[in-house]
Every structure is written in C-alpha cells, then in structure tokens.
C-alpha cells in the first residue's frame, strides 16, 4: 500500500547522484524500480519533477521546489533519529517517578538525588502517593510499591527490599507501663496507629508455630501520617507497629526499643516497577542501576 512518503528517498537519491543507475546502486534497488517509484510520486503529486533525456536529468521548477522540501524533511527526520539515539545511549531528559509517601521520602529520594548528581542532564518529576497508580495511563516511568503485586504482562517488577514490621516503644513509656510479654498483653497498652482501612485496628503478630495472625489493639491516638505516629511514640505516648526501615535508626540510638521481639509478624516485598519495553533508554537504566545498587548495599548492611 502506497503512502505519501513513497518515492521521496528515490527522488532525492536520483537528484543528488545524477542518474537512476547510481541511485539504484546506492539504494540497493534495480534501476527500473527507482524509475517506477519516481513515476508513482509524480502521479500522486500530479506534477512532473524531472526532465529525462538519454544524456541527462534535470529538475523542473516544481521538482526544484519539491526537492527543497524533501531535503528539509529528511534532515528533520535525521535530527529526530539522532535525538532518539542520544536518549537511548545518554542519560538525559525527564524521569517521572511515583513513590510511597514516607518510604519514598526517607529512602528513595536520596538515591534519586545521587543519580541526578551523577547525570546532570536528568530531570526528575517525583510524586508521592500510597494508592495504586496506572504507570502506562498516567505516563509514569517508575513506581516503588510495598506489597504483593498482581500479575501483569505490561509491567516489569524488580524486588529491591523487604518490609519487616516491628512493635516498638520509647524507654520512658516502657519504664512506666512495662513491656508486653505476649501479643494478648497489647490489650492493656496505649497503642498509637496510623491510617486505617477498616473500623478496627489489627497488628500482625506471629503464633508459636510461625503463622502470622491479626491482633486487635486498643487505640490511644490515631494519626493519618506515619511520621506523626513515630513522633508520638518517641515522646513516650504508647506503642506502635511500624516498618523496620522507619524505626531502625531510633532503635540503634536507643530512642526506641523493640517489644515482643520475634513475635511481630508481617513481611512485604518492596518492588520497583516500570512499563515493559523492548529497549530501555539510558535515563531509565541509570535509575534502575542506582536503586539496585542501593538495595544491594542495604542487604549487605543488614546481613
């Protein structure tokens, strides 16, 4: 099926090389095929482009005008192809990333800033949501999500970590109220929780046989932001269950202590997601490499 661009390459080659024979050799075609392509082009334009004689070829006035447009169009296509090759091989341009709110701010943004420092031609556009996003429909290059994923043939997922849950409290709170010895003891403690999806709050705990079950806890304070939960627990207002990545620094420095150690349950994968594509541009490869290296460093430190 013919298109509006058929014959342009042959027409430009003939005018630049000066003969059908030379153009055919350059394009890997037969001389007759080149002639037919240009004849179809003239018929489609309803304009004669070339004067043909046995000794020479000359452009008609219309041919001269058409050649100028063709050369400009081909130059623009070459420029576009060069830009695509540059984007494929050189980390540059905008990278749109969607992150979980607290985890993204604390752990992923520093990695992205390190990548941006290494590749100044990158431009990051970062959003923070805890909802499920449509990467393809919302034109998002990457998302980091905590939790089990649905099967998808349109997305690639790379595991970059595991979220472990811990129950913690401040030394001042534990000095006043004591530490729970079994999950059922939580019923007599002040529990501080974050946003909930149901009317009751359950924490994940492990049974002696290693199974993970839900333990309903009484609510002392409720905050719609986990960093505020952490602030309240540090101040000695109660116990909370939070991911290890959120409390590990407080535990190291003694600001928080683990309670029910080994009984707090729940592990969820942390995944980096991106739309499946045949060839990854450089701007995406360097982000994947940066986050993969960060994940390896975290695993080495924990191990």
- Residue that is last in its domain, among 62, 89, 116: 89
Q: How far apart are CA 107 and CA 146, in angstroms?
A: 13
What is the model's pLDDT at position 199? 57
Structure confidence by residue, pLDDT tens digits, 59-91:
898 888 888 888 888 888 877 776 666 556 678
Q: What is the CATH number of the domain that holds 14?
A: 1.10.10.10
- Residue that is last in its domain, among 74, 89, 104: 89
Asked whether residue 137 falls in the same domain as residue 174, the answer is yes
CB 216 within 8 A of CB 225: no
Alpha-carbon torsion (144, 149, 150, 152), positive or negative: positive
Asked whether residue 60 falls in the same domain as residue 163, the answer is no
Give me the number of domains the chain comprises: 2
Domain region containing 59: 8-89
Asked whether residue 137 falls in the same domain as residue 232, the answer is yes
Asked whether residue 197 falls in the same domain as residue 105, the answer is yes
Structure confidence by residue, pLDDT tens digits, 88-97:
667 888 999 9
For the entire predicted model, the pTM comes to: 0.63
Helix and strand counts by DSSP (H, E) for the chain = 10, 13
- Residue that is last in its domain, among 60, 89, 118: 89
Asked whether residue 50 falls in the same domain as residue 154, the answer is no
Structure confidence by residue, pLDDT tens digits, 122-137:
999 999 988 888 888 8
Residues 6+ apart with CB under 8 A from 122: 91, 92, 93, 94, 95, 115, 116, 283, 286
């Amino acid at each position: 099926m013919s298109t509006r661009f058929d014959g342009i390459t042959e027409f430009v080659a003939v005018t630049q090389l000066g003969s059908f024979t030379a153009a055919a050799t350059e394009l890997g075609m037969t001389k007759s095929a080149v002639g037919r392509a240009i004849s179809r082009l003239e018929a489609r334009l309803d304009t004669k482009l070339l004067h043909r004689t046995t000794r020479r070829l000359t452009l008609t006035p219309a041919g001269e005008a058409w050649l100028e447009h063709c050369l400009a169009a081909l130059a623009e296509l070459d420029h576009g192809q060069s830009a695509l090759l540059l984007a494929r091989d050189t980390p540059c341009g905008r990278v749109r990333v969607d992150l979980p709110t607290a985890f993204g701010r604390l752990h992923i943004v520093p990695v992205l800033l390190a990548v941006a420092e290494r590749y100044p031609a990158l431009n990051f556009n970062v959003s923070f949501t805890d909802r499920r996003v449509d990467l393809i429909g919302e034109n998002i290059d990457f998302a980091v999500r905590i939790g089990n994923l649905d099967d998808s043939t349109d997305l690639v997922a790379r595991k970059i970590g595991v979220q472990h849950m811990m129950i913690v409290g401040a030394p001042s709170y534990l000095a006043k109220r004591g530490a729970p010895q079994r999950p059922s003891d939580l019923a007599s403690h002040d529990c501080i929780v974050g946003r909930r999806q149901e009317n009751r709050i359950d924490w994940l705990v492990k049974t002696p046989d290693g199974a993970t079950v839900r333990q309903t806890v009484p609510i002392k304070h409720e905050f719609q932001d986990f960093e505020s939960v952490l602030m309240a627990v540090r101040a000695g207002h109660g116990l909370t269950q939070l991911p290890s990545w959120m409390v590990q620094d407080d535990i190291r420095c003694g600001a928080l202590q683990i309670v029910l150690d080994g009984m707090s349950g729940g592990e969820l994968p942390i995944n980096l997601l991106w739309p499946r594509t045949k060839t990854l541009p450089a701007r995406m490869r360097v982000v994947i490499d940066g986050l993969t290296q960060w994940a390896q460093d975290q695993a080495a430190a924990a191990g």
